[in-house]
Amino acid sequence: MRRSIATVCVSGTLGDKLSAAAAAGFDGIELFENDLVVSPWSPAEVRSRCADLGLSIDLYQPFRDLDSTDSGHFTKNLERAERKFDLMSALGIDTVLVCSSVAEDAADDNDHIASQLSQLADRAADNGMRIAYEALAWGRHVSTWDRSWEIVRRADHPALGLCLDSFHVLSREVSPDGIAGITPGKIFFLQLADAPHLRMDVLQWSRHHRLFPGQGAFDLPGFVRSVLAAGYAGPLSLEVFNDVFRQADPTRTAIDAMRSLVALEDQLPIAPYAGSSPALRSLPPAPHLAGHAFTEFAVDGRSGPELRTVLRGLGFAHTGQHRTKPVELWEQNSCRVILNSAVTAPGPAAISAFAVTSDDPAMALARAGALLAPAHPNVREPGEAELAAITAPDGTQIFVTDPANPWRADFLPTGTAAGAGEGGAAGGSGTRSDTPGAGLLRVDHLGLAQPFDHFDEAGLFYHSVLGLEHLAAEEYAAPFGLMRSRAVADPARHVRVALTVSLLRRGEWAPAVADPQHIAFTTADIVATAKALALPALPVPANYYDDLAARFALPDALVATLKEHGILYDRDAGGGELLHLYTRVIGGRVFFEIVERRGGYDRFGEPNAPVRMAAQRHQRLSSAPSAEPGPGSTTATASPRR
Ligand SMILES: O=C(O)c1ccc(O)c(O)c1
Ligand SMILES: [Mg+2]
C-alpha cells in the first residue's frame, strides 16, 4: 500500500520535512496548513518540489469548525472553503480534512450537520474535490467514529466520506468492530497513530503523546484490518503529534516512521478485502535467536586497564589476542567480552557492539534491511571471519551471526584458558583452567541506557528488527530523576535487552551519563559466585535489607547472607525470585551485574535500580573525596563529575 506521513510528525520547516519524508521512502504527505503558511514557497512551488521528490500530496488539513453552525456563519465558512479549494488546486490536492466541530455552540443534530456537509461537498465536487470528515475524540458532539459515519451516511453525497484516525477511534470506549461494515468506498482517508495507555484529557493525550504504530499500546493491526475489510485502498498515513519527535532530527524520525509502517503492513493478512486487493508487502520472518556470542567494549588507554582489572576480578581470563587488530578476547564459560582499542566510543568505556546468534543470519539481515536498518560487513583482513552488523538507534553495532561462525579463530590463543569456577559445571569446557573463574555462565541481559530522543525508536527497532517482545514498562524515581525502563526479549529468553531513559531531558546537575550501560551475567549460585569474586561487590546500605525483610518476610538467615555479599533481591507475583549484585561504575560509563533467576522470574529487579544508582553515586563520591562532597555530607554543593 502507499505510505504517507503528515508534515506535523517531524521537526523543521517544510523543506526539512519534505526531504526527510522522501529520504525515508514515503510516497506522499499530508500537508498541514501551518507548514504551508510559514513557507516562503508558493503553492505551485510546493507542488513542484513535492513532485521532484517523488511525493504526492494526499491530504490538505485541517478545516475546523465548519459545520454545526448557524446559516450566517456557515455561508462565511463556505466562502472560506472556496478559497481553500483554489489553494488546493494550485497544490494539486483533491482531498481536504474537515474535523468535527469543537465550537461551544455547535449544533447537536445529525441532520443539520449532514445537510451542511452536503452543501460543502457540492462546492467541493464543483472543484473536483472531496471532503473527508473526521470525528475528533474531543469534538463537541461528534466525537466517535460511529456518529461521524451516521452523518456521512445520512448526507449520502459522493464527494463526502470519512477520515478515520486510529487515535480518535481507539482512545474512546466505542468499539471499532463495526468499521468493517462501513460501505465500501466511503472511507476516504486513513490516519494512523499509536499511543501509550494514559489516563488523561484526550486532547492533551493526542497532541503530546501520540507514537508511531508499534510504539504504544493500541491494536493497530486489528484496526487496519477492519478498515481494509471495508474496502479501503488509499494510503496508510501517519499522523503523530509527539513532543519529542517534534524536536528530534527529522531524517531519523522519518525513518523510524517508515519502519513502523513496514512492520505494521507485515502484520496485515494478505487477503481480498471487500472487492479491493491492496498490495501488501511482507517481511522475512524475525530470526530465532540462540543467545549472545560476544559483547564488545571500545576502550582507550585509561578505560582498558580498568576494565581488565574488573574482568579479572569477575573471574574472566584473557584467552585470545586478535591477529591483526588491537582487540582482546576475555572469556568465562559462554561469557565473552571483547576489548577493542581500534574503535572510538563516545565515552571512556561503553558497549560499542554486541553479537547475537541466529539459525539464519542472512534472513535476519534481510529483514533488518527491509526495516531500514541495513547491515554493514565488518572491516577485515583476508581469511578473517565475516560478520555483518546493523546499527541500533543509540549507535551500538549489533552483529547477527551463525553459532558456527569461526570468528574466534581470528584470535590467537594467549595460552590462558578460562576457568569455570563455582557453580560453573553447566558451561565448563573441561579444559585446564588457569584462572579460577566465578561461575558466570552466559549473558543474562544487556542494560542499554538510551539517548533521550530515541527511546521509542529503540523499542520499535528491537521489536521489529530482532523480533524481541516488549515486557512491561516500568517507571521509578532515581537519584538523578525519574527513569523509564522497557525491556525486550526473544520468546525463549535467550536474548534480553533492558532499555532505559530519563523521563525528561537531563538538567545540568545530573551526571552526563546518568545511567551507565551494563552487562549482566548469569550464575547458577550467586552466593558461591559472590564468594569467588576477586573484587568487592557494590556496597548496599543496611537500610535496604531492613526494608527487604519487612517487604518480603524473608528468613533472617537469608537476609544476613544477602547483606553479607551485597546481593539485592526481588520477587514476582508468581513467587519467582531474582538475586543479583553489581560492581561499581567503571570509567563513568559501564558496570557489571551478576544475576541468579529462580522459579521463572522474568524481570530485571527494577525496584532495586534506584538503590543501585544511589550506591554507585556514593561510590563515586568516596573514590574522589577531594573533588566532591563525601558520602556522609548532606548538602551536595558540587556537581558530580561523572
Ligand atoms: O489535534 C488536532 O487539532 C487535530 C487536527 C487534525 C487531525 O487529523 C487530528 O487527528 C487532530
Ligand atoms: Mg487525525
Edge-first strand listing for the sheet containing 411-413: 376-377, 388-391, 397-401, 350-358, 289-298, 335-340, 327-332, 317-322, 411-413
Q: Decide if 274 is inside a domain.
A: no
CB of residue 62 inside a 6 A radius of ligand 1:
yes
Question: Percent of the chain, pLDDT > 90?
Answer: 80
CB of residue 283 inside a 6 A radius of ligand 1:
no
Q: Decide if 641 is inside a domain.
A: no
Residue 425 CA: distances (Å) to CA of 317, 327, 422, 428, 592: 17, 28, 8, 5, 22
> Cα(528)–Cα(421) distance, rounded to whole angstroms?
9
Q: What is the CATH classification number for the domain harbouring 505?
A: 3.10.180.10
Residue 628 CA: distances (Å) to CA of 12, 67, 481, 625: 41, 65, 20, 5
Q: What is the pLDDT of residue 273?
A: 72
Q: What is the pLDDT of residue 589?
A: 86
Q: What is the mean pLDDT of residues 228-242?
A: 96
Q: Are residues 305 and 247 in the same domain?
A: no
pLDDT at 350 over 90: no
- Using the 8-state DSSP alphabet, how is residue 403 labeled? T
What atom of ligand 1 comes closest to residue 193's alpha carbon?
Answer: 10
Q: What is the CATH classification number for the domain harbouring 36?
A: 3.20.20.150
Q: Decide if 633 is inside a domain.
A: no
Picking from 32-36, 119-123, 137-141, 473-477, which range would have the lowest pLDDT averaged per residue?
473-477
Q: Are residues 349 and 414 in the same domain?
A: yes
Which protein residue has the closest C-alpha to ligand 1 atom 1?
Answer: 207
> Cα(34)–Cα(520) distance, rounded to whole angstroms?
48
Q: Which amino acid is at 18?
A: L
Q: Report whether 579 contacts 526 (CB < 8 A).
A: yes
What atom of ligand 1 comes closest to residue 6's alpha carbon?
Answer: 8
Which residues sit in the known binding site? 134, 165, 191, 239, 445, 518, 593
Q: Decide if 296 is inside a domain.
A: yes
Picking from 208-212, 460-464, 501-505, which range would have the lowest pLDDT averaged per residue?
501-505
Supply the range of the domain harboring residue 226.
Answer: 3-266
**Which phi and psi (to 5°) does residue 430 adopt?**
85, -5
Q: Decide if 271 is inside a domain.
A: no
Q: Which amino acid is at 365?
A: L
- The string of DSSP letters for 209-252 reads H-B-TTSSSS-HHHHHHHHHHTT--S-EEE---BTTGGGS-HHH
For 571-603, how does the pLDDT look when each residue is reduced to its tens digit (9 = 90+)?
999 999 999 999 999 988 899 999 999 999 999
For 180-195, how does the pLDDT look when each residue is reduced to its tens digit (9 = 90+)?
999 999 999 999 999 9
What atom of ligand 1 comes closest to residue 206's alpha carbon?
Answer: 1
CB-CB neighbours of 338 under 10 Å? 24
**How far does residue 134's CA lie from ligand 2's centre (Å)?**
7
Q: What is the mean pLDDT of residues 160-173?
A: 96
Q: Are residues 233 and 346 in the same domain?
A: no
Which protein residue has the closest C-alpha to ligand 1 atom 9?
Answer: 136
- Domain count of the fold of the chain: 2
> Cα(26)–Cα(258) distance, rounded to whole angstroms?
7
> Cα(503)–Cα(483) distance, rounded to whole angstroms?
6
Edge-first strand listing for the sheet containing 568-571: 469-478, 481-489, 496-502, 440-449, 517-523, 590-598, 577-582, 568-571
Q: Are residues 523 and 438 in the same domain?
A: yes
Q: What is the pLDDT of residue 574?
A: 96
**Which ligand has the shortest distance to the CA of 61?**
1
Q: Are residues 201 and 313 in the same domain?
A: no
Q: Are residues 295 and 180 in the same domain?
A: no
CB of residue 239 inside a 6 A radius of ligand 1:
yes
What atom of ligand 1 comes closest to residue 97's alpha carbon?
Answer: 8
Q: Decide if 284 is inside a domain.
A: no
> Cα(318)–Cα(144) distance, rounded to whole angstroms?
64
Q: Are residues 458 and 540 in the same domain?
A: yes
